[in-house]
Structure 1
Amino acid sequence: MIIRAAIRSDLGAILRLLRDLGDSTPTQSGTVRMSSAAVRAWTRIETDPQRTVLVAERRGQIIGTLDLIVVANLTHDAQPWAIVDNVVVDAACRRRGIGRALVEDALNRAGEAGCYKVELLSHESRTGAHAFYRAMGFENSAEGFRRYI
């Protein structure tokens, strides 16, 4: 297995994985339709030097993904911080170290970018994911709030 930055041809596989987060509706064939909005979003993502979508690939198959965003900052001596989001491993491949490898790669990249912290949010119902993040050294140190628009 390799962890690498995603490329445009990975988009369909990434969208398939992200379906597990509940944001996409599969078509009758079970695939996720690649909308023009998703393609436009991908174009913005791939041209943003502060954003990296990582994929875990095994034998040509994308089996995991993670989104890493480095945020410029004015506090902490202007050190940036990072956000990890959209962490997903294919259901058939879980509990094999794939998520760990993705998160470790993201943490390494954040460290190389000079980040002083990495934050992530996980829905309160995802208790298994919370145990995973704690095992990776993340602490539940803040209460998060969202307002959907």
Structure 2
Amino acid sequence: MVFGSRSGVEVRTALPADTLEIAGLLRQLGLCVEQRQVAERVERVLGDPSGTVLVATAWNGAVSALIALHWNSVLQADRPVAQITALVVDEAERRNGIGRLLIKAASQAARTAGCDQLTIATEQECDDLASFCETLGFTAANRGFVRSLRKRPRSGAT
């Protein structure tokens, strides 16, 4: 499924053929995983109706970024909450709007799944991530960031 495109970048659901490039992106996060492991994990996530893996591809089809998210019901909310469990843009492609495009596509997928919130959990302080999240409308929360998926009423609207 294609979620959108901009400036030659397309966001779509990950495919088995993407696993070598996904493994390379995960290494940029400090995760040492083999292509076989990535293939199994991507297949497992995509086979689960409560999650998805999306990739951004360049005009030549090369995977330049990925986002993985899962949603589930929680006691603290009436509707499911979506959590971003992985987000990485290739170092050479950062600051080109690809992360923003992935967040937009993830938000669309989460809304389709009935979610009202999108969260990003973090293990440590990261000023770049905090700045990125705040720019996109997330607010700081306990060990991460959260953003409502409901549209805000326009100012002056009744």
TM-score between the two structures when normalised by the length of structure 1: 0.82
**Between the two proteins, what is the percent identity of the paired residues?**
33
Which residues of 2 match residues 26-105 of structure 1 at below 5 A? Answer: 33-35=34-36, 37-59=37-59, 60-77=61-78, 79-105=79-105
- Structure having the larger proportion of residues in helix: 1
Q: Which runs of 5+ in 2 are unaligned?
A: 1-8, 145-158
| Matched position secondary structure for 1:38 | helix
Aligned length: 135
- Structure having the larger proportion of residues in strand: 2
Confirm or deny: 8 A CA contact 2:53 2:66 kept in the other structure: yes
Distance 2:75 2:130 in 1: 29
Q: Relative contact order (C-alpha < 8 Å, sep 6+): which is higher?
A: 1
Return closer, same or farther for 1:42/1:112 CA change in 2, 3 Å cut-off.
Answer: closer
Return closer, same or farther for 1:7/1:126 CA change in 2, 3 Å cut-off.
Answer: same
TM-superposed deviation, 1:132 = 0.3
Deviation sequence 1:7-36 (CA, Å, 0-9, x none): 111111111001111111xxxxxxx6324x
Q: Which runs of 5+ in 1 are unaligned?
A: 25-31, 145-149
- Give the RMSD, CA atoms, in angstroms: 1.8
Distance 1:95 1:38 in 2: 26
Return closer, same or farther for 1:143/1:57 CA change in 2, 3 Å cut-off.
Answer: closer
Confirm or deny: 8 A CA contact 2:42 2:53 kept in the other structure: no
Distance 2:34 2:109 in 1: 31
| Matched position secondary structure for 2:63 | strand
Distance 1:43 1:86 in 2: 15
Greater than 2 Å deviation, 4+ residue runs: 37-43, 72-77, 122-126
Partner of 1:136: 136
TM-superposed deviation, 1:74 = 4.9
| Matched position secondary structure for 1:140 | strand
Partner of 2:119: 119
| Matched position secondary structure for 1:131 | helix
Confirm or deny: 8 A CA contact 1:122 1:130 kept in the other structure: no
Deviation sequence 1:85-114 (CA, Å, 0-9, x none): 210001111100000000111012112222
Deviation sequence 1:55-104 (CA, Å, 0-9, x none): 00012110000001111345533x11100121000111110000000011
Partner of 1:28: none
TM-superposed deviation, 1:47 = 0.8
88-97 vs 106-115, which deviates more?
Answer: 106-115
